[in-house]
Amino acid sequence: MTTFLKLLFRNRLAALGAVVLGAIVLLALVTPLLPLADPDVTATGDRFMRPFTEGHLLGTDHLGRDLLSRLLWGTRLSLAVGIAAALVAGTIGSAIGIVAGYFGGRIDNVIMRGVDMLMAFPYILLALAIVAALGPGLLNALIAVAAVNIPFFARNIRGVTVGLAGREFIDAARLAGMGHGRIILTELLPNVASTIVIAMSTTVGWMILETAGLSFLGLGSQPPVADLGSMLGEARAALITNPHTSVVPGVMIFLIVMSINLLGDGVRDALDPRLRSGALTRPRAVTLVDRKGQVPEADQKGLLNIQSLETQFHVGPRIFRAVNEVSLHLNPGEALGIIGESGSGKSVTALSVMGLVASPPGVITGGAVRYAGEDLLSADYRSLRQKRGNNVAYIFQDPLSTLHPLYRVGDQLTEAIQAHHAVPDATARARAVELLKDVRIPNAEARVRDYPHQLSGGMRQRVGIAMALANDPDVIIADEPTTALDVTVQAQILALLDDLRRDRGLAIIFITHDFGVVGQLCDRVAVMYGGRIVEEGPTATILSHPAHPYTKKLMACVPELGGGKRELAAIPGLPPVVSDLPPGCAFAPRCDKATEACRVGEIGFTGSDTHRVRCIHPEEVLA
């Protein structure tokens, strides 16, 4: 509760709302004690006096009544009526909602049908009908406004109650022989009370506005008693000659409603965990690059060359080092595997290449990524966009969430083509069909008109692959392309990728946690752990002579290459949290061979350029 209040008041606007509302409520409370003129005493000789005249701070109205006094009394009345309406609607609506939610079944059905019917009305029609039946008057307006808002409470509270009614403590109470009434009062009500209070406090502004509205129309408070709405309604006749009589009550309604809105927004924001975690911030078009150190010298290795890449996630005061000093290169036509558990930094490494790490919270803090010699991290958006999909293309893990659900697959393919080539629609569409044929989708002419949800998982991933091929890129980065698929489909997709690679001379980076995949497809493999590369070398060498204890364990998890169930749980312990890595080897807590030396200082690579390992006691001593 105190943290909630702190959050609320860190929000300056909410605090402002609280102050303004507090002041208005206080004024309304002490109004009877203030030395004010009688709000209803008319003095036609003094009509329409301007604000700031002697004895009438805000002037007088068309009957010579003191506006300040009428304003304060009117505010008092409007607040009282609005709050009363909120209480009535909240109580009756919540009662209905609790009954519907608790009993469920037919009772629920009938009640909610009725609520739906009420909600089918634009609210004012219902209010007008009620006032028409009961006759104009403030009490009737209050009843109308309350009645109109009952469905809102009923529906909200029913939702919460349904969630609670199935819980064990309700069952327990029932088994203990408690009656329905007692269960509702002693078990349910305390749990929904806070929801009811919040719903009431967020709607009270509405209720004030609505009753003021009815009074404005002449259907609420009747003369000489005035709330803010009827003050405004009466002043309307003199709007042009004496606008101040309209402005005074109008501004007061505005202030009340705005301060309640500000406060309500503050409450909502303070209760929303997504706002604090940054889950509701817009990711930029390109990952933020903020390199602290020097940009490493180009070393001319490979077509795609990653040097000392550092990518971090900045979440509040915490820093997650997702990728730490990673260097890799990819030669033309080569297949490189990056393998590791989830959280090892392999996907973030891959996404960093084209600036696709969501930012915020992602920041690239060091290193270089060069494509054909050009540093992509210092490239501007234009040139990076031109390379995305055209030179370096991606295949993502789960094609159900990575393909746009509302576009036909054909349109998504033509869009990929037209992003880089100004070709006519017809040409692009023909090419899209070609692409689907290339990835062996049967009946491609018809499939282009399908939406992603109409395809099977395997077919969807073929579309994902076709999209990556659309512009004949030199490099494809496949981020766990088969993980979401079942085993037989996995094999087909892998075979397809392998064929495409050989036919087109593609260079592929394969991100995976599966040595089976690596063995089948990759020329070289890099093993990542805790954001770092711990071993790298030719696939055959690593498969036969793994040097890093982690690599060896990872391989032991694969019962048989290319098949069977692959689980990493066989390695005891959990992957490290990259926000606080221990000094020394990150794998030490899970390593059988760990010694004291492993837990201090930086451990560098040993071995050669072709096969290197980051371990003090490697399984194999590398030349």
Partner 1 sequence: MGAHILKRLISAIPVLLGITVIVFLIMAMIPGDPATAILGSYATPENVEKLNRDLGLDKPLVTRYFIWLGNMLSGGFGRSFSLNRPVIDEILDRFNATLILAGVSFVLCTLLGILAGVVSAARQYGLADKAITFTVLIGISVPSFFLGMMMILVFAVNLRLLPVSGMYAIYGGGDLIDLARHLVMPALALAVVATGVIARLSRSAMLEVLRQDYIRTARAKGVHERRVIMGHALRAAMVSIIPVLGIQAGFVLSGSVYIEIVFQWPGVGRMLVDAILKRDILLVQGGVVFVAAAYVFFNIAVDVAQSLLDPRIKT
Q: Which does 616 bind (CB under 5 to 8 A by kind): ligand SF4, partner 1, none?
A: ligand SF4
Burial of 589 (0-12, 13-18, 19+ CB in 10 A): middle
Residue 216 or 320 having the CB closest to partner 1: 216
Report if residue 62 touches ligand SF4, rule: CB under 6 A.
Answer: no
CB of 335 to partner 1, least distance (A): 20
CA distance 220 to 136: 6
Q: How crowded is residue 519: how many other Cβ atoms within 10 Å of its Cβ?
A: 18
Partner interacting with residue 598 (select from ligand SF4, partner 1, none; CB below 5-8 Å by kind): ligand SF4
Using rule CB under 6 A, residue 73 touches ligand SF4: no
Residue window 12-41: x/- pattern of binding to partner 1, with contact defined by CB under 8 A = -x----------------------------
Please identify, among the stretches 153-161, 191-199, 282-290, 332-340, the one whose residues bind partner 1 according to the rule CB under 8 A. Answer: 282-290
Selected binder of partner 1 within 416, 485, 517, 547 (CB under 8 A): 416
Q: Nearest approach, Cβ of 612 to ligand SF4 (angstroms)?
A: 13
Nearer to partner 1, 104 or 114 (CB): 114
Residue among 26, 132, 139, 597 that touches partner 1 (CB under 8 A): 132
- Is-cis flag, bond preceding 224, omega within 30? yes
Question: Any alpha helices (H) in 46-188, and if so which ranges?
Answer: 67-103, 105-119, 123-134, 138-165, 168-175, 180-182
Smallest gap from residue 579 Cβ to partner 1 (A): 21
Measured CA to CA, the distance from residue 320 to residue 362 in angstroms comes to: 9
Residue 415, contacted partner among partner 1, ligand SF4, none, CB below 5-8 A by kind: partner 1
Choose which of 31, 60, 230, 246 interacts with partner 1 (CB under 8 A). Answer: 246
CA distances from 298 to 335, 372, 605 (A): 22, 11, 20
Partner from partner 1, ligand SF4, none contacting 585, C-beta within 5 to 8 A by type: ligand SF4
CB of 557: closest distance to ligand SF4 in angstroms?
Answer: 16
Region 144-203 residues binding ligand SF4, contact defined as CB under 6 A: none
Helices (H) and strands (E) in the chain, counts: 23, 13
Q: Cβ distance 187 to 123 under 8 Å? A: no
Residue 230 or 520: which CB sits closer to partner 1? 230
Q: In terms of C-beta distances under 8 Å and separation of at least 24 residues, what long-range contacts does 178-185 make, across chains too? A: 180/102, 180/103, 183/102, 184/98, 184/99, 184/102
Element (H, E) at 476: strand 475-479
Out of 155, 370, 388, 501, which residue is the one contacting partner 1 (CB under 8 A)? 388
Rule CB under 6 A: is residue 587 a binding residue for ligand SF4?
yes
By CB under 8 A, residue 540 contacts partner 1: no
Start-end of H helices in 508-570: 515-521, 539-544, 549-556
By CB under 6 A, the residues from 467 to 506 that bind ligand SF4 are: none
Q: Which of 286, 363, 350 is nearest to 480 (CA)?
A: 350
Beta bridge pairs of residue 310:
366
What is the per-residue binding string for ligand SF4 in 527-556, x denoting contact by CB under 6 A? Answer: ---------------------xx-------
- Name which position in 406, 422, 426, 623 contacts partner 1 (CB under 8 A): 406
Closest approach, Cβ 318 to ligand SF4, in A, equals 25
Question: What's the min distance (Å) between Cβ of 539 and partner 1?
Answer: 26
Could you tell me how many residues of this chain bind partner 1 (CB under 8 A)? 82
> CA-to-CA distance for 316 and 47, rounded, in angstroms?
60
User: According to CB under 6 A, which residues from 593 to 622 bind ligand SF4?
Assistant: 593-594, 598, 603, 615-617
Task: Using CB under 8 A, pick the residue from 130, 138, 339, 376 that binds partner 1.
Answer: 130
Structure-block tokens of residue 111: 């009640």
Q: Is 270 in the site for partner 1 (CB under 8 A)?
A: no
594 Ramachandran zone, left/alpha/beta (phi>0; psi -120 to 50): beta
Of 111, 588, 612, 622, the one binding ligand SF4 by CB under 6 A: 588
Report the length, in residues, of the chain: 623
Residue numbers 192-211 binding partner 1 by CB under 8 A: 209
**What is the distance between the alpha carbons of residues 462 and 474, in angstroms, rounded to a whole number?**
19
Which partner, partner 1, ligand SF4, none, binds residue 591 by CB below 5 to 8 Å per kind? Answer: ligand SF4
64 closest CA partner among 48, 79, 51, 75: 48
3-state secondary structure of 309: strand
Which of the choices ligand SF4, partner 1, none does residue 209 contact, using the CB cut-off of 5 to 8 A by kind? partner 1
| Residue indicated by tokens 């104009």 | 136
Piece in contact with ligand SF4 (CB under 6 A), picked from 118-126, 179-187, 290-298, 582-590: 582-590
Q: What is the 3-state secondary structure (H, E, C) of 577-618?
A: CCCCCCCCCCCHHHCCCCCHHHHCCCCCCEECCCCEECCCCC
Q: How far apart are CA 534 and CA 585, in angstroms?
A: 9
**Binding residues among 77-106 for ligand SF4 as defined by CB under 6 A:** none
Contact 430, 492 (CB under 8 A): no
| Integer Cα distance of 7 and 546 in angstroms | 52
Which residues inside 302-361 make contact with partner 1, applying CB under 8 A? 351, 354, 356, 358
- Report if residue 585 touches ligand SF4, rule: CB under 6 A: yes
Query: Should residue 89 be labelled a site residue for partner 1 when binding is judged by CB under 8 A?
Result: no
Q: Residue 305: name the closest of 353, 355, 366 by CA.
A: 353
Closer by beta carbon to ligand SF4, 45 or else 604: 604
> Of ligand SF4, partner 1, none, which one does residue 451 interact with (CB within 5 to 8 Å by kind)?
partner 1
Give the DSSP letter of residue 55. T
Query: Which residues ranging from 258 to 277 are in contact with ligand SF4 (CB under 6 A)?
Result: none
Give dist(CA 41, CA 532) in Å, integer.
Answer: 83
Binding of ligand SF4 by 591 (CB under 6 A):
yes
Regarding 222 and contact with partner 1 (CB under 8 A), the answer is no
39 vs 607 by CB, closer to ligand SF4: 607
Reported as type and span, the H/E element at residue 320 is: strand 318-330
Residue ranges binding ligand SF4 (CB under 6 A): 548-549, 585, 587-588, 591, 593-594, 598, 603, 615-617
